[in-house]
Amino acid sequence: MNASTGDLWPYLLVIVAGFLPTDIWRWLAVIFARRLDEGSEIMIFVRAVATALVAGVIMRLVLLPTGDLVAVPLAIRAGAVAGGFVVYFLARRSMLVGVLAGEAIMVAGAYFTTG
Amino acid sequence: MVESPASDPTSSSVPPTLAARAWYVRGLSAGITSVQGWVLIASYVGFGGLCAGIGFPPGPAVFSSLLVLALPSQLLLVGGYAAGNGALVIALAVLLSAARLLPSVVTLLPYLRGRGRLVVQLFAAHFVAVTIWVESRRHLPPLPVEARLPFYFGMVTVFNSGSVVATATGFMLAGRLPHALAIGLTFLTPISFLLALTRNSRDLVDYLSLFLGLALAPLFAEFGGKLDLLWTGLVGGTAAWIVHRWRGRAA
């Protein structure tokens, strides 16, 4: 692979692996515009697979990171997720408070362990 | 161009183009003042930071916000790239996850019909994602039929351009912030998505698919080979759905 195709590859990836597989559903919806029941079994199944996929990619990013997060010890990464989760529930399901708590653990941990 | 208001204030003879432009501007201002819109823009700052943190290049990161405009798809895209997955595997994961957009578009379509032109509908549908869906369901139904499409495109303009600027901003911030804060920015999308998925969970099937996705990911990463992400989604989602079916029958 030469330099120019190497540079263009991520753009192509965005089109082929991001744009097309996302927009195909938007277009199918227009073309087969029957009313779909959001509570139907097939939609519940679709939602379940989508949720598991996104949960899976989050777990990968945190547990098996690449790039910057690698520098942070596993215990702190796991602690930031767990802490954010626990505080979210303690704060009566406040997303803002949960995110801030997880972030505080991550930033403090990164500050003291990676310099 | 500008019609004198004195001539006929209740006039229906206002040129359609002018009226459409006025509705477009109202859509713009609805987008700018939307709380959901600002949450979206903050999320895209986090996405830009994540891309910087995992080594996804800035141009394609911004390009994805311009073109894909669905954060879960983009998260799978850059996460798959960081994990070294091939294009086909990433495309399949995005395809599976984006299926949830189909009912969103279908429920919004009655308000986006316009003059019934298929090309316009396809173009309008391209911009449907969670935030625009929520705001459209709130703003569009009370509007006159001819106002809906321009108003919608006004909101879309704000959300899409805001996402693009936010992604670039997040990427640049990651390079300038102190190291610990840059790491915090990288972490923003994962933690907020995790809590958003938890918040959006209504039934057992939602909680179970979330939990199984989290639990199976490290397992398949170790033993699932190149398709680990797909296995996580398919096995976790299917298992959650089977339990949901089984409980439904038992009840």
Q: Tokens 């009912």 belong to which residue?
A: B103
Domain boundaries, chain A: 1-34, 37-64, 65-115
Same-domain status, B133 and B251:
no
Comparing B174 with B39, the larger pLDDT belongs to B174
The answer to whether the Cβ–Cβ distance between B64 and A18 falls below 8 Å is yes
Q: Is the confidence at residue A65, as pLDDT, over 70?
A: yes
Q: Is the confidence at residue A26, as pLDDT, over 50?
A: yes
pLDDT value of position B213? 95
The answer to whether the Cβ–Cβ distance between B126 and A23 falls below 8 Å is yes
Q: Does B171 touch chain A (CB under 8 A)?
A: no
Identify whether B1 is part of a domain: no
Q: Which residues of B touch A44 (CB under 8 A)?
A: 205, 241, 244
> Mind listing the pLDDT tens digit for each residue in B216-232?
999 998 888 878 889 99
> Mind listing the pLDDT tens digit for each residue in B193-203?
899 889 888 88
pLDDT value of position B189? 87
> Mind listing the pLDDT tens digit for each residue in B27-51?
999 999 988 898 899 889 999 999 9
pLDDT value of position B99? 86
pLDDT value of position B168? 98
Nearest residue in chain A measured CA to CA from B216: A56
pTM: 0.81
Q: Is the confidence at residue A20, as pLDDT, over 90?
A: yes
Q: Tokens 């409980």 belong to which residue?
A: B247
For chain A, helix (H) and strand (E) counts, in that order, are 5, 0
Identify whether B192 is part of a domain: no
pLDDT value of position B118? 86
Same-domain status, B43 and B121:
yes
Based on its alpha-carbon atoms, the radius of gyration of chain A, rounded to whole angstroms, reads 20
Identify whether B191 is part of a domain: no
Q: Is the confidence at residue A1, as pLDDT, over 60?
A: no
Nearest residue in chain A measured CA to CA from B210: A52
> Mind listing the pLDDT tens digit for each residue in B51-81?
999 999 999 999 999 999 999 999 999 999 9
Same-domain status, B245 and B161:
no
Instruction: Give how far B246 is from chain A: nearest CA, Å.
Output: 12
Given the cut 0.90, state whether the ipTM is greater than it. no
Give B114's pLDDT tier (boundaries 50, 70, 90): low
Identify whether B9 is part of a domain: no
Which residue of B90, B177, B194, B223 to mutate against A (max A Cβ within 10 Å)? B194
Which residue of B63, B95, B102 to mutate against A (max A Cβ within 10 Å)? B102
Identify whether B3 is part of a domain: no
Let me know: does B127 contact A23? Beta carbons within 8 Å: no
**Helix, strand, or coil here: A24?**
helix
Mean pLDDT of chain B: 88
Same-domain status, B132 and B247:
no
Q: Which residues of A touch B217 (CB under 8 A)?
A: 55-60, 63
Distance CA A89, CA A62 (A): 20
* DSSP structural state of residue B226: G
Give A38's pLDDT tier (boundaries 50, 70, 90): low
Q: Is the confidence at residue A17, as pLDDT, over 50?
A: yes
Instruction: Give how far A24 is from chain B: nearest CA, Å.
Output: 8
Give the best-scoring range by mean pLDDT among A1-10, A18-27, A36-45, B126-135. Answer: A18-27
What's CA B234's distance to the chain center, in Å? 22
CA distances from B144 to A10, B111, B149, B152 (A): 43, 10, 10, 12
Identify whether B184 is part of a domain: no
Query: Which residue, among B162, B183, B164, has the nearest Cα to B174 in the 3D structure?
Result: B183
pLDDT value of position B10? 43
Q: Is the confidence at residue B163, as pLDDT, over 80?
A: yes
pLDDT value of position A114? 79
Q: Does B213 touch chain A (CB under 8 A)?
A: yes
Q: Does B41 touch chain A (CB under 8 A)?
A: no
The answer to whether the Cβ–Cβ distance between B208 and A72 falls below 8 Å is no
> Mind listing the pLDDT tens digit for each residue in B86-108?
999 999 999 998 987 887 888 78
Q: Does B246 touch chain A (CB under 8 A)?
A: no
Let me know: does A35 contact B82? Beta carbons within 8 Å: no
Closest partner CB to A51 (pick from B94, B104, B237): B237
Identify whether B196 is part of a domain: no
Give B209's pLDDT tier (boundaries 50, 70, 90): very high
Tokens representing residue B100 in the block: 């949830």
Q: Which residues of A touch B74 (CB under 8 A)?
A: 18
Size of interface A-B (CB pairs under 8 A): 307
Q: Does B62 touch chain A (CB under 8 A)?
A: no
Q: Is the confidence at residue B12, as pLDDT, over 70?
A: no
Identify whether B144 is part of a domain: yes
Distance CA A71, CA A114 (A): 6
The answer to whether the Cβ–Cβ distance between A10 and B72 falls below 8 Å is no
Same-domain status, B205 and B169:
no
Which residue of A1, A5, A22 to mutate against B (max B Cβ within 10 Å)? A22
pLDDT value of position B134? 82
* Whole-number percent of chain B with pLDDT over 90: 59
Q: Tokens 């004198």 belong to which residue?
A: B4
Total of domains in chain B: 2
Distance CA A73, CA A64 (A): 11
Q: Is the confidence at residue B251, as pLDDT, over 80?
A: no
Instruction: Give how far A37 is from chain B: nearest CA, Å.
Output: 8
The answer to whether the Cβ–Cβ distance between B216 and A56 falls below 8 Å is yes
Same-domain status, B172 and B205:
no
Domain residues for the domain of B222 are 201-251
Q: Does B38 touch chain A (CB under 8 A)?
A: no
Query: Which residue, among B28, B22, B16, has the nearest Cα to B114 in the 3D structure?
Result: B16
Distance CA B247, CA B236 (A): 17
pLDDT value of position A2? 46
pLDDT value of position A115? 62
Q: Is the confidence at residue B8, as pLDDT, over 50?
A: no
Q: Identify the domain boundary among B179, B210, B225.
A: B179
Q: Is the confidence at residue B18, as pLDDT, over 90?
A: no
Mean pLDDT of B182-201: 88
Tokens representing residue A95 in the block: 């997303």
Same-domain status, B207 and B168:
no
